[in-house]
Amino acid sequence: MKNDYLRVKEKLKNQITFGPYKMNDKLPTETELMEKFSVSRYAVRKALIELQNERFIYKVQGSGMYVEEWNKKWSANTESKTIGLICTHIADYIFPKIISEIDSVISQEGYSLLLANTHNQPEKERLSLIKMLDSQVAGLIVEPSESAKPNMNLDLYNQISKSKIPLLFINAQYPELTAPAIINDDAAAEKNLIKYLLKMGHRKILGIFQVDDRQGVHRMNGFIQAYQEMSCDLSKSSIIMYSSHDPFSVISKKIDFYLQDKEKPTAIACYNDQLAIHVLAKLKDLDLKIPQDISLVGFDNFDSSAYLSPGLTTVNYQRSRVGKEAGKGILSLIKGKEFETLTHHPKMELRDSVAKI
């Protein structure tokens, strides 16, 4: 078939990029590849030639094809005027503002952004890193994907460090790496929010946290710490954990379990405002009044949070400030200057979604 060679090429490229083939490993012979993919010799040869041209493999006369050291051209490029920005999302929620502010800062010095969206998938983060490093960007700003899980891209980040390519993380950082970051003290911010609920008389608080990111894990820890520091009975609380890839329908069913209890929660603390907006709509559909029947809090202070009915009590994530700091930070690193990790301590925005009981 016409596209057989593309299928062979992409499969081999994927196996080289993600494993099992390592640098300088020998590839199967043409005959073995023909049998493996059930394609013609022409398709195999065309795929190998294109991979060779793209510097993924090299030929040893009389021996066969081997995996090239495809990252050897990666190096700090002081001549480049492009900065790579890899985010878990780019088109919605808090991210457009962050991206806009970064672009505003770097454009003043003649730089432009090369954007990539991972949808919080480490595999897409890996492909984005490779693409940007192949493009020899001047530096990288990365929001880690699934940062609470083992880092499958540690080999690439180690190569970035070895090559002295400027790197800055935002919102989270991988614990194995020493690159600077701009982050929130998520645990402390969530702890203060839950302490506020406890001071308002709430004890049966339902926390809902995204736990494949370090932000969510830290916020969940802050939830627990609030009960401990206020000497309140943690067993009266409940926690729902979910993945960033779970649709709201999955989370909604878990919430139903607690709402059907005779002693349902008096308050719900959501991982972020985006989730809180969905929960608010769900509670209204069930004819539950906020905050008279159930209080509700979020995190991030998303633009629409103040205009909900009722206005959402939340934590103010300063996305404009983070964007500006990230732009200035990566420019400093590109110029060879020091840039230390910045930790923000976001404050509460008290509105009308919490009642005293």
Q: What is the CATH number of the domain that holds 333?
A: 3.40.50.2300
Over the stretch 76-134, which tens digit does the pLDDT of each residue have? 888 999 999 999 998 888 899 999 999 999 999 999 999 999 999 999 999 999 989 98
Domain count, the chain: 3
Helix crossing, 122-134 with 4-18: angle to 10°? 100
Determine the Cα–Cα distance for residues 318 and 94; give it in Å rounded to an integer. 10
What is the domain range of residue 236?
Answer: 186-317
Is there a single domain that holds both residue 102 and residue 176?
yes
Report whether 302 contacts 273 (CB < 8 A): yes
Burial class (CB in 10 A: 0-12, 13-18, 19+), 37: middle
Residue 112's CB is within 10 A of a number of other CB atoms, namely: 11
Is there a single domain that holds both residue 328 and residue 180?
yes
- Whether the per-residue pLDDT at 14 is higher than 90: the answer is no
Tell me, what amino acid is at 335? K
- Whether the per-residue pLDDT at 192 is higher than 80: the answer is yes
Whether 350 is in a domain gets the answer: no
- Confidence at residue 2, expressed as pLDDT on a 0 to 100 scale: 59
pLDDT category at 210 given cuts 50, 70, 90 is: very high
Over the stretch 280-301, which tens digit does the pLDDT of each residue have? 999 999 999 999 999 999 999 9
Burial class (CB in 10 A: 0-12, 13-18, 19+), 11: middle
- The pTM of the full predicted model, rounded to 2 decimals, is 0.86
Nearest to 117 by CA among 107, 102, 127: 127
- Confidence at residue 1, expressed as pLDDT on a 0 to 100 scale: 58
- Confidence at residue 77, expressed as pLDDT on a 0 to 100 scale: 85
- Whether the per-residue pLDDT at 183 is higher than 80: the answer is yes
pLDDT category at 334 given cuts 50, 70, 90 is: very high
List the structure tokens of 187.
Answer: 């645990």
Is there a single domain that holds both residue 158 and residue 114?
yes
**How does DSSP assign 10-73, residue by residue?**
HHHHHHHHHSSPPTTPBPPPHHHHHHHHT--HHHHHHHHHHHHHTTSEEEETTTEEEE--TTTT
Is there a single domain that holds both residue 180 and residue 328?
yes
Is there a single domain that holds both residue 313 and residue 190?
yes
Burial class (CB in 10 A: 0-12, 13-18, 19+), 102: buried
Q: What is the CATH number of the domain that holds 32?
A: 1.10.10.10
Identify the H or E element spanning 251: helix 248-259
Whether 52 is in a domain gets the answer: yes
Is there a single domain that holds both residue 292 and residue 336?
no
Q: Please state the separation of Cα 264 from the chain's center in Å.
A: 32
Whether 252 is in a domain gets the answer: yes
Report whether 88 contacts 120 (CB < 8 A): yes
Tell me, what amino acid is at 63? S
